[in-house]
Structure formats: structure tokens, C-alpha cells
Amino acid sequence: IDQATQAQLHDSVKTVPKTKVGIVLGTSRLLRNGTKNLYFSYRIQAAKKLFDAKKVSYLILSGDNRVDEYNEPKDMHDALLKVGIPDSCMVLDYAGLRTFDSMVRCKEIFGQDSVIVISQEFHNARAVYIANKIGLKAFGFNAKKVTSQQATKMKFREFFSRTKCILDLYVLGTKPRHLGKKIKIG
């Protein structure tokens, strides 16, 4: 996955190609102990940088919202509003339950043929890999890395996520849990 996507991942706003839409992949705003989740904060900062540099005109905020008390897209929306992203430039995707679902929905529901994925590098590699396999042209814009015990747990989790990704794409023929009506952006 890393090798196949390396050329499509960018750390600099200057090098990432311009697309109409960026997709911010969801994560919890807070950790279980109630402290700020740096993965979330850094993704918000990265989305703002891309938007301010006019690399994207719209943002799909894709995440989990299976229960009323947990709403990744709304949390991202609220955080991006606070940093000056207009509401009219954000589209909430409440059915981005997994990275696989977010990427397929980006193409099938939101009608995108190219996109900038906004997350940390390890996550972007997997998302861009999925995009490549489903015929969606994608670039990753790497949010700042998290260095902590939380990062160690995430690396362990990512190993299993990548295994599931390969199974989804090559063995299981997985489909997103929810598709639905097409949504036009812009």
C-alpha cells in the first residue's frame, strides 16, 4: 500500500494538485479520557490550509454517525466553521463508517472523479490505494503526524485495517453499508 501510493501523497500544500473537492476522513474529536484527539485537530488544520491555498473549493466531511451522541461529520463541520470555512463549502457524509465506504461514496454518491484525501499519511496511503482500485483519482494531503502512545496504538490498528482493506478489495467484494441518492457538489 505504501509503495503503490507514495507518489500520490503530499506533505506540502505547494506540491499537491488542485481539485474541486477534498475529503476529510473522520475520527473522534475527543479521546476516551476526554482530552483533545490530535488526529482530529491536525486534520482540521490540514483542511484549512488546503482551502485557504485554494487547492480545494469544497470539503466532504466523511465519518461515523451511527449513534446520536457520536457524530464525526458534525464535529468536523463545527471545527471547520470556527476556523473560517464557509458552511456552503462543506458537505457532510454521515455514512462514511469506514475508509472504504468514504472513498466509494466519494465517487458513487458525490460524483467525484478526483479528490484530495485529508488525513495522516498512514491513513492517506490506504485511502488513496482504495481510490486507485475503484477508479477514483486521488492525492493525499498529509496532516501533521501524531507522536505519542496514541500513535503506537494507531499503528497497531492500521495493520488490521490494511489487512481488511486487501480482503475487501480482492477477496470479499465488499460494498459500502449505505449508498443512496446521488448528491451534487457545487
pLDDT digits (tens, 9 = 90+) for 21-56: 999 998 889 888 888 989 999 999 999 999 999 999
- Structure confidence at residue 65 (pLDDT): 81
Q: How far apart are CA 131 and CA 103, in angstroms?
A: 6
Q: Which three cell numbers, joined as nine digits, stand for 156?
A: 497497531
pLDDT-based confidence at 19, cuts 50/70/90? very high
Of the candidates 147, 151, 144, the residue with the CA atom closest to the CA atom of residue 49: 144
For the chain, the residue count is 186
| CA 62 to centroid of chain Cα atoms | 6
- Structure confidence at residue 18 (pLDDT): 96
pLDDT-based confidence at 151, cuts 50/70/90? low
7-32 mean pLDDT: 93
How does DSSP classify residue 29?
Answer: S
Task: Answer whether residue 62 shows pLDDT above 70.
Answer: yes
Core vs surface per residue 37-64: b (16+ CB within 10 A) or e = bbbbbbbbebbbbbbeeebbebbbbbbb
Task: Answer whether residue 170 shows pLDDT above 90.
Answer: no
Of the chain, the percentage scoring pLDDT greater than 90 comes to: 59
φ, ψ (nearest 5 deg) of residue 37: -90, 115
Quick one: CA dihedral 153, 93, 32, 83, positive or negative?
positive
- Structure confidence at residue 183 (pLDDT): 85
67-96 mean pLDDT: 92
Angle subtended by helix axes 99-108 and 121-134, to nearest 10: 50
How does DSSP classify residue 99?
Answer: H
- Structure confidence at residue 49 (pLDDT): 97
Q: How far apart are CA 85 and CA 17, in angstroms?
A: 20
- Structure confidence at residue 150 (pLDDT): 63
Q: pLDDT for 87-131, tens place per residue?
A: 999 999 988 888 989 999 999 999 999 999 999 998 899 899 999
| DSSP alpha helix (H) spans, 53-120 | 72-82, 99-108
